[in-house]
Amino acid sequence: MKSGFNPCNLYGYKFGKIGHYLRITYNPAMTLLIWILAILFLGFWTLLAWLSHKLLLWAGRLPWDQTLQQIKDLPVPAFVAPWWQQTVDVLAPLLHMTESVLGGAMQFAGAALPFIIGIIWLFGVFAIVALAAIVSGGIWWFKRNRQRRD
């Protein structure tokens, strides 16, 4: 066995053949890190769900023709000004298509939109928690197998 510092083997444990090849070691800080990352991902997922809900409600009530004119009238730097009007004119059909898609979605979903976004959010929460539990369980499993073998 080679001597020297190996950051993957801080405690000197190696778990089975898989652990030997992958140099998997048990580190309680790793489990803590997994759950901290899961909580951060849950926070970002919740923020994304809330923002998408607010954005869809806002975009469904937006007067698109006035918005397009306000975009054209935005103060832009001098070096961008020659291309700004043409860029907005080129993107105008995309904005009108967005209006029809959002209008159709709002008409279809209507009052059920918060419920639909809530269901999608719930599936995401289950996926994040399940993934964190599977990874934490894998660490526990490797530790348990090592303790059995020793």
Secondary structure, 3-state, the chain: CCCCCCHHHCCCCCCHHHHHHHCCCCCHHHHHHHHHHHHHHHHHHHHHHHHHHHHHHHHHCCCHHHHHHHHHCCCCCCCCHHHHHHHHHHHHHHHHHHHHHHHHHHHHHHHHHHHHHHHHHHHHHHHHHHHHHHHHHHHHHHHHHHHHHC
Report if residue 47 sits inside a domain: yes
Query: How distant is the alpha carbon of residue 143 from its chain centre?
Result: 30
> What is the per-residue pLDDT across 5-63, written as a single tens digit (0 to 9) for each?
555 554 444 445 554 545 555 567 888 899 999 999 999 999 999 888 887 777 666 67
Report if residue 32 sits inside a domain: yes
Report if residue 2 sits inside a domain: no
> What is the per-residue pLDDT across 70-108, written as a single tens digit (0 to 9) for each?
777 888 888 888 888 888 888 888 877 777 777 676 677
Report if residue 1 sits inside a domain: no
CA 38, CA 44: separation in Å to the nearest integer? Answer: 10
The domain tally of the chain equals 1
Q: Domain containing 58: what range?
A: 7-149
Whole-prediction pTM value?
0.57
Report if residue 86 sits inside a domain: yes
